[in-house]
């Protein structure tokens, strides 16, 4: 039922003038993919650098809130670029993503990553010592950072996997 609806929607989307333009102009898809992957690099590295700082694996001499202030705000505008380029890639080849369960897995993981990142940013802006107050907090922070690294890596795999599944 849902699959039939998505299939109909994909058919309609593929017949729109915008989709036709994306499909026929040979440069659009490679350009969108290039912008998408460069944006992936920015978002992924920003999130991972903060997670590694929580593990005290880098920038140990810089306070965690300072590292978070340096890297986390970059994520939000670049996510908008990812959303735009990703959506245009879908418009160009709707069936490839909209009928692909890996695509929905990637979106669900992305929602989780966003919730974790917002939580981290919010906790540090409301209490700079939040994750370093005592041993329990430090362990919880390391656990959250490990989950965050895992989720971002799974998003990368899922993004690449869409082409093969
Ligand atoms: C914000 C919403 C996003 C949308 C709507 C979206 C959508 C897409 C689409 C449609 C593709 C093309 C898949 C294909 O046809 O092979 C793609 C590729 C990919 N995406 Fe996203 N994406 C988004 C965010 C992200 C994020 C946050 C990451 C990782 C941090 C990511 C990582 C990737 C990767 C690694 C690829 C494969 C690129 C390639 O091999 O050319 N995406 N995405």
Task: DSSP letter for 63, please.
Answer: -
Tokens of 153: 């890596």
Do residues 65 and 53 make contact, with C-beta atoms less than 8 angstroms apart? no
Q: Which residues line ligand 1 (CB under 6 A)?
A: 33, 36-37, 40, 43-44, 79, 82-83, 86-87, 89-90, 96-97, 110, 152, 155-156, 159-160, 162-163
Percent of the chain residues topping a pLDDT of 70: 100
pTM: 0.93
Q: What is the pLDDT of residue 66?
A: 94
Contact yes or no for 72/148 (Cβ under 8 A): no
Measured in angstroms, how far is the CA atom of residue 123 from the centroid of ligand 1? 28
CA–CA distance, 34 with 38 (Å, rounded to integer) = 6
Q: For residue 2, what pLDDT is reported?
A: 87
**Residue whose CA lies nearest to ligand 1 atom number 15:** 163
Dihedral angle over CA of 3, 101, 37, 93, nearest 10: -30
DSSP state of 127: -
pLDDT in tens, 75-125: 999 999 999 999 999 999 999 999 999 999 999 999 999 999 999 999 998
């Amino acid at each position: 039922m849902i699959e039939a609806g998505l299939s109909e929607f994909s058919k309609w989307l593929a017949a729109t003038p915008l989709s036709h333009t994306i499909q026929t102009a040979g440069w659009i898809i490679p350009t969108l993919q290039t912008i998408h992957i460069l944006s992936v690099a920015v978002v992924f590295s920003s999130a991972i650098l903060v997670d590694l700082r929580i593990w005290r694996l880098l920038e140990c001499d810089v306070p965690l809130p300072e590292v978070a202030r340096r890297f986390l705000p970059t994520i939000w505008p670049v996510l908008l670029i990812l959303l735009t380029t990703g959506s245009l890639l879908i418009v160009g080849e709707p069936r490839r993503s909209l009928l692909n369960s890996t695509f929905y897995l990637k979106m669900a993981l992305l929602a989780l990553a966003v919730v974790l990142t917002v939580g981290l940013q919010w906790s540090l802006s409301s209490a700079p010592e939040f994750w370093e107050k005592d041993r329990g907090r430090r362990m919880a922070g390391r656990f959250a950072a490990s989950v965050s690294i895992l989720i971002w890596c799974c998003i990368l795999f899922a993004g690449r996997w869409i082409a093969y599944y």
